[in-house]
Chains A and B, each alone.
Chain A
Amino acid sequence: MQVTRVQIGRVLSLISGDVQADRAVPPTGYTVRLTVFAAGAMAFLAVFALALSLATGRLADRWAAELARTSTLRISAPADQMDAQTAAALRLLLTTPGVAEARALSLEERRDLLEPWFGPDLPVESLPIPQLIEIVEGGDGYDPAGLRARLLAEVPGAVLDDHTRWREPLVAAASRLRLLGWVSIVLIVAAVAAMISLAAQAALAANAQVIRVLRLVGARDAYIARAFVRRFTLRALTGAAVGTGAGMAAILLLPGTDVAGGFLTGLGFQGLDWLLPLVIPLLAAVVAFVATRAAALRSLREQS
């Protein structure tokens, strides 16, 4: 944290740096355009990676929360025992710590559940359909292993489905998407650093004569490097600011979550999340500062 603060401080002092001293290095159009474009493109992508990360994070939390609060008890028993086992299960559930509510689904509700597969007017009453009990958790939730053991003893036809089978892959998928988003951001930062290092090295090689003259008159490596570092830091900051602005505008123009409610339409920022992309240009400037300084000092050592 301290290092980051020091580096941001250096970046800010660079921005207000010695303009006269910077004149020693001639402007080079090629590396200017390359750096500004690459920083802008990477910042644009970083905005989307950030949006993806935040959206999948929200999705994982929502799925985990929604599925974790409910579970289902299925009772398969001979017709003459069904009511007795249902009643026993309800009694057991209502005395189980962590169960806020337990309710047997009516015949109509079970018909509605089957309708997507068997169509309307299914004669549910004449079929050996299991009884379903919806369980709503309360507080810290119940102990599934303990509940299963009690059910086995008291309601032999009951099978508890706590949605773990469904929840875990969904939450894992969303969590991996979130991780993928952050990995993308790290890769983008690394790509920016690599690209700026190459551009800085190209600029240093193109200015070998300038460096020779500066050395001849007693310039230290840090002095020579500073002119390059300042230039590349400002270019990266400018390009990333433009790219971030464009990325945020593109996100803003995506369809709203209320239109379809799907995952893709939820790819955006919410509330204070809109402030997060503003860090991207600053991050690009810090990365450019560190990458150019390292490349410049290494290159200057190699040139002597």
Chain B
Amino acid sequence: MAGRVTVIELRNVAYSYGGAELFSGLSLDLSPGSFHFLTGPSGAGKTTLLKLCYGELTATSGEVTLFGQESRSMSRDGVALARQRIGVVHQDCQFLDHLPLAENVALPLVVAGRRDSGQQDLADLLAWVGLSGQAGQLPPQLSGGERQRAALARAVIMSPDVVLADEPTGNVDWEMSQKLLTLLVELNRMGKAVLIATHDLNLIRAAKAQVQARVLRLRGGKLQSAGVDL
């Protein structure tokens, strides 16, 4: 691994909310080509950990480094530019409800000023996640599964260096979750780092059959390796 620049690095990170410590002493390296699963009981702080990874939250103590720069020392624009290199799939998807699906998926391209160059990628991605027919529909008109597929398409349309996904297959059937996993595995084989927070053990098993994935468990405020027996 020598010489590989870590994409996202957490060093001895703690996070408290309302005086209560959610976790502490947490360290994690997401290097290019790495594939991690993050498991743990509800409320353990998986979503919070993901938010720390893309700079939406700031650690109470410790260091969070995004693309080699400590997040606290980054300007607001710096954090925004870092996010253009991070694909995020939120648990609740988060769309602009007044825009059609295609425009929502293309939003990172618009924000980055690459709208025109990414049109073919957009069509291919929508076809890949099976949403070509829904391109003109508004997000509230889509099912939960369709929204999750669209969220994943939006997260990867910029070909980010890292994909952070919070329960990305929670609302899709097994066949579609396999398809989405294949997309993430393909991205990982292209050298992208992937971190998926999930309760879906079948998804983890299926992934481990395809890539060398590391499984981490967040429990009692500590991050541990979950081992191989899931």
Contact = CB atoms under 8 A, between A and B. Distances in A.
Residue from B54, B76, B77, B95 with most neighbouring chain A CB atoms (10 Å): B76
Interface residues of A, number: 21
B98 A26 contact: yes
Given A21-B110, A24-B107, A221-B77, 10 more contacts: A21-B111, A24-B110, A215-B83, A216-B56, A216-B90, A216-B94, A217-B83, A220-B80, A221-B76, A301-B76
Contacts of B76: 220-221, 301, 304
Interface in B117-145: none
Interface in B93-112: 94-96, 98-99, 103, 107-108, 110-112
B115 A217 contact: no
Interface string A175-218: 00000000000000000000000000000000001101111111
A20 B76 CA distance: 24
Nearest to B151: A216
Contacts of B115: 20
B201 to A, nearest CB: 28
10 contacts: A20-B115, A23-B103, A24-B110, A209-B94, A213-B94, A214-B111, A216-B56, A223-B80, A223-B111, A301-B76
Interface of A: 20-21, 23-24, 26, 209-210, 212-223, 301, 304
A24 B115 CA distance: 13
Contacts of B56: 215-216
B46 interface: no
B96 A24 contact: yes
Nearest to B87: A217
Contacts of A222: 77
B80 A213 contact: no
Contacts of B111: 21, 214, 217-219, 223
Contacts of B77: 220-222
B88 interface: yes
The 4 closest A-B pairs by CB, nearest first: A218-B84, A218-B83, A26-B98, A217-B108
Range class of the B interface residue count: 20 to 34
A8 to B, nearest CB: 25
B94 A218 contact: no
Interface of B: 54, 56, 76-77, 80-86, 88, 90, 94-96, 98-99, 103, 107-108, 110-112, 115, 154
Contacts of B103: 23
A301 B81 CA distance: 16
Contacts of B95: 213
A225 to B, nearest CB: 12
A222 to B, nearest CB: 8
A21 B110 CA distance: 7
Nearest to A221: B76
B158 to A, nearest CB: 8
Contacts of B90: 216
B80 A219 contact: yes
Nearest to A297: B76
A219 to B, nearest CB: 5
B110 A20 contact: yes
B157 to A, nearest CB: 9
B80 A218 contact: yes
